[in-house]
Amino acid sequence: MPVLGIDIGDGSATVATISKGAIDVVLNEVSQRYTPVCASFTQKRRLFGDQASPQLISNYRNSCRNIMSLVGRTIGGDEDLAVSQLDEFFSPNGLAACPNGYVGYNCAMESEPYDVNKVLAGYLGFLSDMADKYIGIPSRDVVIACPSWFSEVQKEAVKLAVHAAGLSCVNVLDECTAMALDYGVYRLKQLSDEKPTTVALVMIGHSHASAAVCDFYQNKAEMLAHVSRRDLGGRNLDLMLMKHMAEIFEKKYGCNPLENRKVRSKLEVVAVKTKRVLSANSESGFAAECLMEDNDLQGNITRDEFDEMCKKEFLPDLTEMLMECVNMCGKSVEEIAAVEIAGGVTRIPCVQKAISSIFGKQLSRTLNSDECVARGCVLDAAMRSISYRARQYRVFERTMRPISLAVVPGGDMEKLGSAEIAEILPAGSLKATPIETKLNLTAPVTLVASMGDPRNPADPHFLASIEVTKQLAPTQAEGVVAVCAAFDDQGRFAFTGVESHEFNVLARGHLFDFEEYAQFEAEARNKDRVENERLRTLNDFETLIYSVKEKMSGSHREYVAPELVGTLTTELNNWSNWLYDNYGETLEVLQDALQKVNAQWSPIERLHFEYSAKKNDMDAFLNDVQARYKLCCEDGPMWYGAPAEERLEFAQKLQAFDARIRQKMEEEKDHPRHLEPLFTMDQLHLECRKITSEIDEFCRRMRVQNERRKAEEAKAKEKAAAEAAGAKPAKEAGEEAAEEDAEEVDMNNGATYHDNHTTERLPKAFGQCVVRPFSSGRDGTPGKSILKNSMLSAVVCAGTAMGVYLLLDARRGNRRAIVQEERYGKPQLGGPFTLIDKNGKQRSLSDFRGKLVLIYFGFVNCPDICPVEMDKQTQVTEILDRRFGPIVQPLFITVDPRRDTVEKIAEYSKEYHPRLVPLTGTDGMIRDVAKKFRVYYNQGIKSTDEDYLIDHSIIHYLLDENGEFLEFYGKNVSAKEIADDIGKIIKKRNIKA
């Protein structure tokens, strides 16, 4: 199951996943790595990302932005949760309190403020769908980044939104922690476990900034200091430029563009563009047509002027934050080895200069400025997932606030406001450190822990609370009780023990109604789905009408009956007018109308297809028939000495077939194209396959007769030789229970199969086929076994040599090859089998009837070839799934059944396509299926039970819907080539999912 790392900023969002062992950033619907963080609502659906971005101005009254900055916030109230003036200024439609007390957007189409948590849930669902489409399979496990200043309430709101979107929130990760993960994991060889490498991490995003100093080791990282500022980011610079431009505009026209929300949004676009230009140029012009009251904005600003503004309004706050971080870390700037920067604002020269001057060294940009947080999140997700074997690398965080404990005697929560408070962990302490404090308390008593004010029932930094019910044993010190607590690996605080006392954990009431949010999101997603489908149907309808009109006067003109031209044209015009008048019709009505037009046009489209197919494919088909005819006229190994008259009967059938085709072609020259064709290519292919099947069956019978004749001749020679030597005569064939098969001894190169004295080998190394001698007669003289096996050896070697020669000759394109696969049917590969799947149940080939089956033979512990080929199989299946739906069923059959147990193949299959069916079985079952597919496998090098190799064939086998062999693909064929070839087969055979 793929995992996702999501970084949602106030400007853009990045989604990362892991593909083939490497981090991959998900591309959105316009093939960009970054997606705008905004939403816009219409009466029938919600828009997110690039679709919503243009709506921020045109539909600003129903648009939302700055989602992460507002989640879990309130209008007034607690200082840590209250929205700021910047939040209100950059909201396109204003903010207001929702009925639950949290902030929402004033959307014009809603009677009440639109809850920010609902917007975030919808946006997360949009990102999830985007990732699923990019990866090809659903992704549910998510690690999402949050700003360092987030309170516990805000983290809970983020988790709520993730779950409401139908995802599983594995962790909510601090942005600086994610940066540290991305930095440390990919520099393990440069780090040491003995001496730490101290690195400063500075991130300045659209709305906030964070800084941290970390000690990096080879297996872990430890934060020394961590600070953040909630309202220090790129939008501060945007506001600064907007005020400068508004001042110029007001002086010229006497009106302030900042007073109107829509005009303010237009001005912000100009300011952002100007900021980007000044990051790389010494001067920038700015302009906006009809900015306000039909007046244009025009002006110019130099980088020096911009830098001067930054020094007054932005850099002092940034410098203060960075100095606080340096002072907290306990190290001098000389001990800091590097300074890594991230975030869009760090591209501005004056900002870079300010950061560099504080740390006294050149800045490093080895981290991807816009993707490092998402990369760190997906690394954390992989380390926590059972689907990935990821090396563990932990970042030990520090508390940004002190942890206090409120002691409520008697457990009466009405006395919480007057309870005593004790600080149990100072700010800046490592979260990994176990917490132990000694308190004077007597049961019953209630303890409340918080990073804020534990006496405040609505404290946004609440951690946990317990009720100490009774004392079980005396404590070490009379009246003094040791209370223990700790943070888990996800940063969640919990009480772990109270000395000699029994306690119960008190659950805090739910801050949000999860069911309400989940139900709302499910209904909204369904509404979006229906509307999107309606718009697609509407688009398809319009496209069909215009396409039919164009084709009727062009490529399809001769396929339309003259009496239908006028009627069809009139109906198309009527449908076009109806569509214009009924643009808002429901999905069902549009689908019904589209079906009616398709029903009228489909027969014409089919006629065009049939005639075009004959025009494009007929020459190649006739050449193929002629080639088959020539093969029937020539005697070759494939006929096994068949009489000429029987062979020529097939030649006459093909000649007659060719003549009938040419006669029909002549008759069809004057045949009107709007009438049904006299014949189709499908009919020709069907008749050709019947003749080919007859030839295949005849050749098979001749082969059996030839082998039987050779066996009888060998027996006769053996009997004569035995009589001449005076040995006991051999038993007659009818008296023997069964003939011994030719024995396989060495299988280093190729595959040997037993089939009544015939040995076939794949064309590799011929010289290593060894036949073990049999024992002599009882009296010590050479008995019948020696002579018999001498003859058998000769027959085996001669037959094998002929087989190798013929197969190699076929590779050179010789038409007299023994198989003639391209011209006459398919090689004798495959057959029914029964094996055991990952659930321990028997599975037969017939279970997959109706689907194409793609099989690969390998073993679980294969170090290199099998993983590459299984990835190839997965890619082929994913490509075909996207094109045609789930038509192809991938199978993996082990050639090492003794080691590859049901449990092992079940675990192995998780790394590949979710529909992959891994199969194992007994040694006999595997030998049987390998023989049917002519798969070679042999025990190779072995050091230990876990370190071994098995030499085996590297081939993918494709079977049709009935389990019959269709094609095979070797190691050098790419996934795209295989998918394209199978796609042609699917289209040709008209296979449906």
Residues annotated within the binding site for Cu cation are 862, 866, 952
For 740, counting Cβ atoms within 10 Å of its Cβ (0-12 exposed, 13-18 middle, 19+ buried), the class is middle
Q: Which amino acid is at 939?
A: Q
Say how far apart CA 991 and CA 157 lie, in whole Å: 48
The Cα angle at residue 316 between residues 346 and 203, in degrees rounded to 5:
30
How do strand 462-471 and strand 445-450 relate by DSSP bridges? antiparallel
- Measured in whole angstroms, how far is the alpha carbon of residue 642 from the centre of its chain? 56
Say how far apart CA 139 and CA 125 lie, in whole Å: 11
Q: How far is the first Cα of the chain from the last one, in angstroms, to the nearest whole number?
A: 23
Nearest residue to 893 (alpha-carbon basis) of 920, 869, 866: 920
Say how far apart CA 857 and CA 935 lie, in whole Å: 8
- Where helices occur in 812-919 by DSSP H, the ranges are 865-884, 902-909
Helix (H) / strand (E) element for 975: namely helix 975-989
Per DSSP, what are the bridge partners of residue 614? none
Starting at the edge strand found earlier in the chain, the sheet holding 63-65 runs 46-48, 38-41, 63-65
Nearest residue to 144 (alpha-carbon basis) of 26, 15, 19: 15
| Contact status, residue 39 vs residue 48, Cβ threshold 8 Å | yes
For 177, counting Cβ atoms within 10 Å of its Cβ (0-12 exposed, 13-18 middle, 19+ buried), the class is buried
- Measured in whole angstroms, how far is the alpha carbon of residue 137 from the centre of its chain? 5
Residue list, annotated binding site: 862, 866, 952
- Where helices occur in 634-773 by DSSP H, the ranges are 644-668, 681-724
SS3 category, 991? coil
Nearest residue to 857 (alpha-carbon basis) of 976, 954, 712, 985: 954
- Where helices occur in 186-222 by DSSP H, the ranges are none
In the block, tokens 């132990």 appear at: 436
Longest Cα–Cα distance in the chain: 129
Neighbours of 79 (CB within 10 A): 8
| Contact status, residue 367 vs residue 183, Cβ threshold 8 Å | yes
Say how far apart CA 659 and CA 661 lie, in whole Å: 5
| Contact status, residue 137 vs residue 914, Cβ threshold 8 Å | yes
Neighbours of 273 (CB within 10 A): 15
Say how far apart CA 788 and CA 776 lie, in whole Å: 11
DSSP 895-911: S-TTTS-HHHHHHHHTT
Phi/psi of residue 423, each to 5°?
-80, 125
How do strand 852-858 and strand 888-894 relate by DSSP bridges? parallel
| Contact status, residue 371 vs residue 14, Cβ threshold 8 Å | yes
Strand locations in 44-88 (E): 46-48, 63-65
Q: Which amino acid is at 967?
A: E
In the block, tokens 């070679």 appear at: 936
Nearest residue to 149 (alpha-carbon basis) of 233, 241, 54, 28: 233
Say how far apart CA 305 and CA 308 lie, in whole Å: 5
- Measured in whole angstroms, how far is the alpha carbon of residue 418 from the centre of its chain? 55
**Tokens standing for residue 270:** 């100009």
Per DSSP, what are the bridge partners of residue 483? 437, 498
